[in-house]
Structure 1
């Protein structure tokens, strides 16, 4: 039992760390925050398919990323919660990879534009819905599915299940 707990914590910590690094890479290109967002780290939202440790790992990684990239308090809180909601949804739909990418896309497409409007004053709201959704489709849908197919071959070695 203790080995399982250590494995879970290690996987969650590694996922969080990778999420932060990938967010910083996207941030360097101006893609991590505001209206146009293509966070490479959001591809990791597919990981709850492989391990339940993906849920806290993604949440903590997003929380740390939002703090370190200077996001507003509502963004830190609600943006991280959007990732958490998406991660739970992905885990719930783990039997179908194509459906499993939808919860993080939907959670972020609904929550993040509202954050952009009320925390940053970005208008028009419809434009934020459009750009955030497009970015999430690229990050979670396209990159996430590519990552899932790449990891599936090595799932036992990487995730131990």
Structure 2
């Protein structure tokens, strides 16, 4: 029987719930052509905890179901967030990890929003990427660095990620 790790499952579930809660709390700025989705700060959590990726994906899927862009946003928006989280998890530094959500969401989300909203792709991409950069670099990097400074064992932060 596979090992069942309650801490990792709980952490993943908390990331998913927090993603939905933050997206809904900031709904007016979480959706649309110009978005500042505060919940995307969580795309950096797989850098610390690989298990956060599952919660990130589920939280994004639920949040996108509540948005107004239908199946395209549910499928491709969730895929973009999971892809960004995965690339962040594989990154060598938190700064490089923060770059992936900006690039991936800028291209994918910006791409389909430009089609759905009939606006120039480069503008749509820039709006999404700028919002993502504000969240990831302005909020995410300081948050992850603060979590990494906690004493070993607090929140289960791995000391091996001191990069």
TM-score (norm 2): 0.88
Q: Distance in 2 between matches of 1:142 and 1:16?
A: 21
Structure 1 gaps of 5+ residues are none
Instruction: Return the structure number with greater relative CO, CA threshold 8 A, min gap 6.
Output: 1
Provide the rounded CA distance (Å) in 2 between the counterparts of 1:23 and 1:122.
24
Match of residue 80, structure 1, among 74, 78, 81: 78
User: Where does the alignment leave 5 or more consecutive residues of structure 2 unmatched?
Assistant: 159-163
Correspondence 1:13 to 2:13: yes
**Partner in structure 1 of residue 161 of structure 2:** none
Indicate if the aligned counterparts of 1:108 and 1:132 stay in contact, CA closer than 8 A. yes
CA contact (8 A) 1:105 1:141 kept: no
Q: Normalising by structure 1, report the TM-score.
A: 0.90
- C-alpha RMSD of matched pairs (Å): 1.6
**CA displacement 1:71-119 (0-9 Å, x = unmatched):** 31101100000001001100100x311111111111101100112123x
Between the two proteins, the alignment pairs up a number of residues equal to: 156
- Encode CA deviations 1:126-160: one digit per residue, 9 max, x unaligned: 21111111001001122110211221123631125
Does 100-109 or 146-155 show the bigger shift?
146-155
**Match in the other structure for 2:26:** 26
